Amino acid sequence: MKNILLLEDDIHMCQLLTDYLECKDYRITAIHHLEALTDAVSLTDYRLILIDLGLPDGSGITAIKQIRSSCTVPIIVITGQNSDDAKALCFTYGADDYVVKPFSIVELEARIKANLRRVEIYDGNAPQTSLQIKGLTIKFKAREVFCDGRKIDLTRTEFDILQLLATHRNQVFSKGQIYQQVWKDSYLDNEDVVNTHINRLRRKLGSSKDCIETLWGIGYRMKDSDH
């Protein structure tokens, strides 16, 4: 049974999600306030976290930051905020997916499965060796990245994108292909999701950011040093 942490202040929504997901063989721990997040057991005990942005004692963004300071467990935001700015902010601070209320509970379950499947596939099939390219050192098993000897903190999704491009150097991936490979889900108008994560990843790579090349209207690739 997979443990999921649910941070949602709407008691009715909590009960609805808990009843449905526990019938699907998930174990749900529901908390209703931001401060309760610090009292939760180790976040690494959870396979996935669902977060509402509108909490009575703070913002879900604060919760995302707090979680990302200690672990890379997948985060799905569930919220009534449907603006591009809200989505971009969540992805910037480390959210992996974003679902707008009102949503289909069947769709939410599908997104939960997709995020869990992505973690299992990437963690179970990471390349055995490290890679050095354009000032970057990527340690796949440890999921660590260094730029000119300085460690870079990446979210799970950012690392998965980097790993995809790095293990298929010079191969061009469209945004749809990146989404399907990394999120393990169908690409349905998720261009902003991919763009935001790529831009955030490039900023973190600093002087090595140009190793990820944009082919306008086509997609992205990681170039070998001699290309």
Cβ–Cβ < 8 Å for 51, 28: no
Class of domain 127-222: mainly alpha
Candidate from 107-121, 124-138, 160-174 with smallest mean pLDDT:
124-138
Residue 227 has what pLDDT? 44
User: 29-41 burial string, b = 16+ CB within 10 Å, else e?
Assistant: bbbbebeebeeee
The residues spanned by each domain of the chain are 2-123, 127-222
User: Residue 28 pLDDT more than 90?
Assistant: yes
Residues 185, 53: Cα–Cα separation, whole Å: 23
Predicted local confidence at residue 189, as pLDDT:
66
Is the distance from CB of 96 to CB of 74 less than 8 angstroms? yes
Work out the average pLDDT over 80-94.
90
* pLDDT at 105 > cutoff 70: yes
Residue 199 to residues 101, 120, 142, 193, 214, Cα–Cα distance (Å): 26, 25, 23, 10, 11
List pLDDT tens digits, range 35-66: 888 766 577 789 999 999 999 988 999 999 98
Cα torsion through 189, 192, 198, 203, rounded to 10: 180
Mean pLDDT of 203-213: 90
Q: How large is the average pLDDT for residues 128-151?
A: 85
CA-based R_g, the chain, Å: 18
Q: Which CATH superfamily is domain 2-123 in?
A: Response regulator (3.40.50.2300)
**pTM over 0.85, yes/no:** no
2-123 and 127-222, same CATH topology: no
The pLDDT value given to residue 126: 56
